[in-house]
Each structure stands twice: as structure tokens, then as C-alpha cells.
Structure 1
Amino acid sequence: MIVLEFKLKGRAEQYRVIDEMIRTAQFIRNKALRYWMDNRGVKLSDLYKQCAVMAAEFEWAGKLNSMARQASAERAIFAIQRFFANCKANKPGKKGYPQYKKFSRSVEYKTSGWKLSPNKKHLTFTDGFAAGTFKLIGSRDLHFYSPKEIKRVRVIRRADGYYAQFAINVERTEELAPTGKAIGIDVGLNHFLTASHGATVPNPRHLRKSEKALHRAQRRVSRKKKGSANRKKAMNRLGGKHLKVSRQRKNFAIETANALVKSNDFIAYEALQVRNMVKNSKLAKSISDAAWSQFTDWLQYLGRVYGKTVVAVAPHHTSQNCSACGTTVKKSLSVRTHVCPCGAVLDRDHNAALNILAKALRQVGIEINTVGHTGINAWEQNDLYSLVVTSASKLTG
């Protein structure tokens, strides 16, 4: 499944109709959730039936396409299923009991309620709201895909306009020549990542660099009268600045993950529990700004696209153990240099990256006695390379 996004270009009255569509989808989602709360033990399939009941009861709800109503009910269903899954898994802390949505920003259609123009440059909504035809602005091309392959169309309102996302039922695969290289990476706050061969990628700190502009925009919002048109404009400007930071962060994650995947055949990283780490109030903003989870998600996705092996390992003791001899050398977060009695002296994150690579190799069935330069050189031997690729394919396949 791939997703292609385009900006919708239309008239102001068309955008107002989209806002009505989004509010209707939110209403249906919340009503379906209310029905589940009032009728404990009800089957999830009954929530689909409630969509038809709501369409008959509320005339404006009936304007929304029937499959779009079902997609709205599915959002409630997914929240309910996630809650029960967390309870069954005994997830620590809050289990995520489903809540009502107050500020939805999207409406989703399935295979009806919309149509593409013959040249696939325009999108028309054909349900009762009659939002009309919008021009699709974007660099991607829908000509490569048939309408039957488009399984969902999601309309999203953002600070800088309205967008349409097309979920297309195709698998993206690309071939690259093998590089014969393996790498372990340790993510951090001083450097965004440190590789097992010693290279580092600077931490861009997108939010930190934009904080002054964000604070100024926030003060302008606070000075405006609540409910006024000027306050709404100020809020849109503030939202635009936050959107810019979000896009910068996403682009950086994609570019970094793409470079790693294309230049290595075997990539190892730590499976960090970021949700727990952000509970540290002193580091929460910096950790969130680094977006490690987004980066590793793209690493896994691009690994599948290019047929590379990406392995996540447990983060235990990767910084404390010596990568040369295995001895545990206790150190606090403020200590940035690893010094071992065996004579190994190297950057703390570099030491962790070497340990991560060693753990990943052991995880796929390869044992290396020393992970330092000897281990990296040994990786480049063809016999070990073939063995690792074969073992990794069994693990991930």
C-alpha cells in the first residue's frame, strides 16, 4: 500500500463544504462510540448498521457517502479494538479508553463518493454534499494506477490548505546492487545518530531553531479577541509555522533513512521505548524534536522497499558494555567517552553503535568475538556476508 498526496485547489465555498463533510464524519464517529458505550457487549458489526440509522435520522448526515459513513464508524471501532488490545496485553499505565473527537481534520472515502477526471488531474466528490471538482496539485502522477487500485481517498485540512491522500493497493519494490556493508547506529541528542564506523549525523533541532518564531506567533494569538476573525488568522499563521517544523522533521527522517538503506545491506538500531523516555521532563522536548520513532519507522519501510535487512535490538547495556572486550563499564549520561581497562577509548555513542551491530548479528545467528575493526573487516568477507544475509532473510521472512 502506498499513499500519494495532492493539494486541492478550489473555491472558498468548496472549502466550506469540505469543513461540513469533516464535521459530519466526526459526528458519526462520536455517535458510533456513544452507541458502544450505551450497549456494552454489542458487536462491532452493529456499529456499521448504526451508520444507516444516523443517515435516516439526520438529513445532513445522509448527505455523506455511505462508505464514508462506514469509514467514520471504523475510526471508533479501531479505538475500541486498540483499548481492548492494551487491556489484554496488560499495558502499563493508561489503556487508552476511547474518547470523543472534538477537532477532527479529515474525512475518508472508500471506493465510492468520488471520481477522477479522464486525465487524473481533477477530483470530484459525487455524494450529497456536492463539494464539486478540485484541481490536484502535486508532483506525483496517478496515471500509473487504475481507479480499482485506489482503495481510499482521505481529505485532510491543514494550516496551509486542503489535501487529498490516495491510498493505492500496490507494493512498492525497488532493486539496488548489494553493497556488502553492515552498520549499527545509535541515535542520540548530541548527534542525531552515530554509526558503528564512527561517522555522525548532526542533530538538526528543527523545533529549537523555530522556537522564537513560534513564541511570537503564539503571543499574537493570545492578544486577539476570542472568536474574532483576526484571532483565526493568527491561529492559522501559528499552525503554519508548526506545520513547517513537522515537515522539516519528516523530510530529514526520510532523507537520513534513505541514505542509510541505499548504502548498506544490513542495518541495526535500538528499539527504544520513546513513549517512556519522554516522561523525563528535562529531555522530553529534545527527544520529541529528534523524532526517533518516525526515523526508525521509515528505516523499516525503506528496508522492505529496497530488500535490505533492518534489525531492531534491545537497548539494554549497549552504552555500558565495552565493544572490544565485553566488560561492563558503568557511566552516567553526562560521561560522553567510553574508557575501558582493556585500553579501549572511544566516544560513548560510537561504542554503543558497535555493540548494537554485534547484538544484531548475534540475533540473526552470527557470532563475532570482537566487534571493533576486526569485526567490521570480517563483515566485508564474502562468506560472512552471504551467511548473514541468509540468516537475516530467515529471521525477517
Structure 2
Amino acid sequence: MIVYEFKVKGKERQYRAIDEAIRTSQFVQNKCLRYWMDNISIGRYDLNKYCAVLAEEFSFADELNSMARQSAAERAWSAIARFYNNCKKKVKGKKGFPKFKKHCRSVEYKTSGYKLSTNRKAIIFSDKKGIGTLKLKGTYDLNYYDIKQIKRVGLVRRADGYYAQFAIDVDVRVESKPTFEVVGIDLGLKYFIADSKGNVEPAPKFYRKSEKAFNRANRKKSKKFSTIKKKAKARQSHNYHKARNKYARKHLRVSRQRKEYCKRLAYSVIQSNDLVAYEDLNVKALVRNRHLAKSISDAGWYTFRLWLEYFGHKYGKVTIAVPPYNTSQNCFNCGEKVKKSLSTRTHVCPHCDYVADRDLNASINILRLGLSTVGHTGIYATGDLPSWAVGASLPSNGESVNVESP
């Protein structure tokens, strides 16, 4: 499964129609969630049937395509199923009870409600929302694929415009020549990665470099915010929304920089090695550290892991996530535990006098653990199976882990 993304061009009334479709999709999703809360014993197909009831009850819900309503119901069920799985697995802490969606940014169509033009440079939406014909701006060529291969189409709203995502059912596997190389990777903040061969990649720190510009744009936005209008529940001024959009665009740019960096680095690692071992980090728990949360979020470890697993699947390479416990503390040479704080960057073993960089020692330990688990079931960042192997459903926030650059 691959996802191609195009920027869509239309008139202002068409953009407002897309916004209305997104709001309706959010409404259906929240209604399905409430229906499940009131009737715990119901299943996935009961939520799909409930969509027809909502269409009869609410005229604006009937205007949305029936399969788009079902997609919204499936989003609600995916959150419910994730909660059930966490309860069965007895995950520590909160189990992720489904929450109502407040700021949805996308609507998803299945196999009806839209039609591509003859040259496939435009898409026509035929439901009653009035979206109409939208031009597709991008470098991909949809003529290469059969219409039946397009399983889903999503419309996404971002700070810099609207996008269309096409989930296409194709085999992404590519045959590649073996390199007969293996590597262990240690993720860090000083160096983004340090491998077992002694190579390091410095952390780009995209957010840190743009932080002054963020603060400046945020101050300008705050100056245009009116507390009087907020108390009166009135819409803020046009200048406030312009400043708000400018602030959002800056964040969007940094997120794209981080994603592209992780993508290129993961591709390079996979192309150079046949086996890659890396840490199975719980980033969600790590960001609770208030001293390092900003730096950890800026690093993008989880994004790098997703792309590493995707490219590993695509090119037939082995990717192994190993437990990070004591990989930095244990000595690679003798195996003894040598306690050290985060500020200690050099590993000095008092037992065997082995001296090495802390990250290099950790990466060799990670590689050793990875080689010892070869043949066992792999661990993926997105669960038992990676997101690209589960199905054609697009994420509700409009992001996709396998949108490849041309």
C-alpha cells in the first residue's frame, strides 16, 4: 500500500464545502463513539449501520457520501479496538479510552463519491456537499495505476492549503542486492544516531533553530487576540486569523523538515545494510521528562523508526527493535555494568579498562542484542504489524507514514 499526495486547487466556496464535509465526518465519528458508550456490546458493523440512522435524522449528514460516513465510523471503531487491545494486553498506565474528536482535519472517501478526470489531473466529488471539481497539483502520475487499485481518497486541511491523498493497493517490495553489512544504531540528542561502525550523524535541531521565529510569530498572534470577542463568543478579527495561519505555517515547515530528514537518513541506513538493530524506545514516556521533553520531541526518533521499518519492508532488509535497558550502561567488552549519568559521554570500564564513546558502546550492545534475536518475531513501532501492512485506512489527522518523495 502506498499513499500519493497532491495539493488541490479550487475556489473559495469549494474550500468551504471541504470544511463542511470535514465537520460532518467529525460529527458522525463522535456520534458513533457516543452510540458505543451507550451500547458497549455493539461491534464494528453496528456502527456502520448506525450511519444510515444518522443520515435519516440529520440532513447535513445525509449530504455526505455514505462510504465517507462509514469511514468516519471506522475511525471511531479503530480507537475502540485499540482500547480493547490495550486492556487485553494489560498495558501499564492509561489504556487509551476513546475520546471525542475536537479538531478533525480530514474526510475520507472509499470507492464512491468521487471520480477522476480522463487525464487524471482533476478529481470530481459527486456528493451533495458541493465540493465539485478540484485540480490536482503534484509530480505523481495516477495514469500508471488502475482505478480499482485506488482504495481510499482523503481530503486534508493544513495550514498552507488543502491536499488529496490516494491510498493505492500495490506491492511496494523492491528487490535489492545484499550488502553483507549489519549495523546497530543508538539514538541520542547530541548525535541523532551513532552506529556500531563508529559513524555519527549530528542532531539537526530544526525546532531549536526556529524557536525565535516561533516566539515572534506567537507574540504577533497574541497581540491581535481580543478577549472581549472571546467572552462574547464572537469570531476573532481577520488579522488575527492571518497571524494564526502564519504561525501554523512555521510549525508545518519545521515538521516537514524533520520528516524529510528522517526519511532520507532511514533510506541511507537501509540501503547500506542488510540488518539494522535499533532501540525500542518508549518515546511517549520519555517526553514526560520536563527537562528533555522539547529536545526529544525535536529529535523525531519515532518518525525515524517508522521510516526505517517501512524501507526495511520495501527493500527486504531486516529491522530489529531491541530493549534499550542498560545498553548504555553495560560494557561491550566484558559485559559488566558501569553506571554513568547522562552528562558522562565516555564509557570507561574499571573491570577491563575498555574506553570508548558512550554512544558507540551502546550501539555495539544494540547490535549484539539484535543478532541474538534474529529469527524471532519482529517488533514494529505501530504494533504487531506496521501501518502499511494492515490496510488502506488513512490516519484521521491527514498524516501518512509512507508518502514517498518523487
TM (norm. structure 2) is 0.88
Q: Matched residues, percent identical?
A: 55
CA contact (8 A) 1:184 1:353 kept: yes
Residue 264 of structure 1 corresponds to: 273
| Cα distance in 2 between the residues matched to 1:326 and 1:113 | 61
CA contact (8 A) 1:108 1:152 kept: yes
CA contact (8 A) 2:320 2:378 kept: no
Q: 1 or 2, which has the higher helix percentage? A: 1
Cα pair distance change 1:393/1:53, threshold 3 Å: closer
Residue 395 of structure 2 corresponds to: none
CA contact (8 A) 1:339 1:345 kept: yes
Q: Find 1:357's aligned residue among 347, 357, 367.
A: 367
2:282 pairs with 1:243: no
Cα distance, 1:70 vs structure 2: 0.4
CA contact (8 A) 2:183 2:273 kept: yes
In the alignment, structure 2 segments of 5+ residues that lack a partner are 227-235, 386-406
Cα distance, 1:40 vs structure 2: 2.9
Residue 195 of structure 1 corresponds to: 195
Corresponding residue pairs, total: 371
Q: Relative contact order: is structure 1 or structure 2 higher (C-alpha 8 Å, sep ≥ 6)?
A: 2
Cα distance, 1:43 vs structure 2: 3.1
Cα distance, 1:394 vs structure 2: 10
Cα pair distance change 1:213/1:67, threshold 3 Å: same
2:227 pairs with 1:218: no
Greater mean alpha carbon deviation, residues 181-190 or residues 136-145: 136-145
| Cα distance in 2 between the residues matched to 1:192 and 1:225 | 38
Residue 378 of structure 1 corresponds to: none
Q: Which amino acid aligns with 1:347?
A: D
CA contact (8 A) 1:309 1:392 kept: no
| Cα distance in 2 between the residues matched to 1:317 and 1:193 | 17
CA contact (8 A) 2:312 2:319 kept: yes
Residue 355 of structure 2 corresponds to: 345
| Cα distance in 2 between the residues matched to 1:266 and 1:89 | 29
Runs (4+) of structure 1 moved beyond 6 Å?
Answer: 392-397
2:321 pairs with 1:312: yes
| Cα distance in 1 between the residues matched to 2:89 and 2:376 | 28
| Cα distance in 2 between the residues matched to 1:63 and 1:393 | 46
Cα pair distance change 1:264/1:221, threshold 3 Å: same
CA contact (8 A) 2:321 2:379 kept: no
Cα distance, 1:393 vs structure 2: 10
CA contact (8 A) 1:179 1:263 kept: yes
| Cα distance in 1 between the residues matched to 2:175 and 2:271 | 10
Cα distance, 1:392 vs structure 2: 7.8
Cα distance, 1:64 vs structure 2: 0.5
| Cα distance in 2 between the residues matched to 1:44 and 1:270 | 35
Cα distance, 1:59 vs structure 2: 1.3
Cα distance, 1:198 vs structure 2: 0.7
CA contact (8 A) 1:159 1:236 kept: yes
| Cα distance in 2 between the residues matched to 1:3 and 1:128 | 26
Q: Which amino acid aligns with 2:201?
A: V
Q: Which amino acid aligns with 2:288?
A: K
| Cα distance in 2 between the residues matched to 1:72 and 1:393 | 33
| Cα distance in 2 between the residues matched to 1:394 and 1:241 | 37
Cα distance, 1:49 vs structure 2: 1.2
Residue 295 of structure 1 corresponds to: 304
SS in 1 for 2:306: helix
Cα distance, 1:93 vs structure 2: 1.9
Cα pair distance change 1:223/1:169, threshold 3 Å: same
Residue 64 of structure 2 corresponds to: 64
RMSD: 1.7
Q: Which amino acid aligns with 2:371?
A: L
Cα distance, 1:292 vs structure 2: 0.6
Cα distance, 1:79 vs structure 2: 1.3
SS in 2 for 1:210: helix
